[in-house]
């Protein structure tokens, strides 16, 4: 694995999120009046413009979104990359078996106006792949699931290997997930739907990725990190980490 030069790596890790300018295409994508009202109502908490800016999303990019849910970020990504780019919305069969609506919801989102460049795929997690090398693999609040009860042993490693393989050299992996308490590793992945940020970094870098930057944009000091993410006391307000990795050139 090729490491970044020390000075560059330290500068990137220390860079404040404010340095990540929101481009006009990203701003327009978030402001689109074609986005559902319910999605726009979640923007203050989820900060989609800043998340996409941190990932470095550009017009024309080819994006693989793993476990897109009902399409909240898919709708923004599709408009931000524009008609010269596309989004592969990869809904794994393992989670569709648990809740079939996950597939119908993302298929419905892909059929909306402005979403013509979205392609829905549902295959097993380890089979994650794209028809062309990707500029970005994007997953939000899902990494922990690869180490939870819906996933068999080795699923996390298999997906990270597949994500690495699917990216072009220099491509980006963007991961957002719910903070677990430091030092708890993967133990909260099933019951709490959380993952220790350091454990996440270790697993991802073991697949060959280089950690380029991290952000506390979505952190919440009021989250004790001991309750499950669906607990009414914290749902929608969990503390989250955001990590940007790069496949070495």
- C-alpha–C-alpha distance, residues 21 and 24, integer Å: 9
* Predicted confidence (pLDDT) at residue 160 exceeds the cutoff of 60: yes
- Is the CB of residue 166 less than 8 Å from the CB of residue 128? yes
The answer to whether position 190 is within a domain reads: yes
In a domain, 79, yes or no: yes
Residue 28 to residue 112: CA distance in whole angstroms: 17
Domains identified in the chain, total number: 1
pLDDT in tens, 114-139: 999 999 999 999 999 999 999 999 99
Query: Would you say residue 92 lies in a domain?
Result: yes
Query: What CATH number did the domain enclosing 108 receive?
Result: 3.40.50.150
* 190 confidence band (pLDDT: 50, 70, 90): confident
**Radius of gyration for the alpha carbons in the chain, expressed in angstroms and rounded:** 17
Spatial separation of the C-alpha atoms in residues 173 and 247, rounded to whole Å: 8
Q: Which residues pair with 173 in a beta bridge?
A: 137, 245
Q: DSSP letter at 209?
A: -
Banded model confidence at residue 90, pLDDT cuts 50, 70, 90? very high
Chain segment 39-64, per-residue pLDDT in tens: 999 999 999 999 999 999 999 999 99
Cα separation, 68 vs 128, in Å, equals: 13
DSSP at 71: S
> Model pTM?
0.91
Q: Which domain holds residue 174?
A: 6-246
Distance from CA of residue 119 to its chain's centroid?
Answer: 17
In this prediction, residue 212 has a pLDDT band, given cuts at 50, 70 and 90, of very high
Is 1 a domain residue?
no
| Residue 37 belongs to a domain | yes
In a domain, 20, yes or no: yes
Residue 127 DSSP class:
G
Kindly state the percentage of the chain with pLDDT values over 70: 92
Alpha-carbon distance of 148 to 174, in angstroms, equals 20
DSSP β-bridge partners for residue 241: 177
Res. 19 pLDDT band, cuts 50 70 90:
very low
Interval 140-158: pLDDT, tens:
999 999 998 778 889 999 9
How many CB atoms neighbour CB 127 within 10 A?
13
């Amino acid at each position: 694995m090729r490491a970044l030069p020390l000075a560059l790596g330290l500068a990137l890790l220390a860079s404040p999120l404010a340095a990540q300018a929101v481009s006009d295409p990203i701003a327009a994508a978030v402001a689109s009046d074609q986005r559902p009202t319910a999605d726009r109502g979640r923007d203050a908490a989820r900060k989609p413009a800043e998340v996409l800016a941190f990932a470095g999303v550009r017009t024309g990019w080819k994006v693989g979104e793993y476990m897109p849910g009902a399409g909240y970020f898919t709708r923004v990504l599709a408009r931000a990359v524009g008609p010269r780019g596309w989004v592969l919305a990869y809904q794994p069969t393992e989670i569709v078996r648990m809740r079939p609506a996950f597939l119908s919801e993302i298929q419905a989102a892909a059929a909306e106006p402005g979403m013509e460049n979205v392609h829905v795929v549902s295959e097993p997690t380890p089979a994650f792949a794209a028809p062309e090398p990707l500029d970005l693999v994007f997953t939000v609040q899902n990494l922990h699931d690869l180490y939870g009860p819906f996933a068999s042993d080795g699923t996390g490693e298999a997906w990270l290997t597949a994500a690495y393989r699917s990216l072009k050299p220099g491509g980006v992996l963007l991961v957002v997930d719910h903070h677990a308490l430091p030092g708890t590793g993967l133990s909260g992945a099933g019951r709490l739907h959380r993952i220790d940020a350091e454990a996440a970094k270790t697993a991802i870098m073991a697949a060959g990725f280089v950690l380029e930057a991290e952000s506390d944009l979505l952190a919440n000091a009021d989250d004790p990190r001991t309750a499950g993410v669906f607990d009414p006391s914290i749902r929608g307000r969990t503390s989250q980490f955001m990590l940007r990795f790069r496949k070495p050139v």
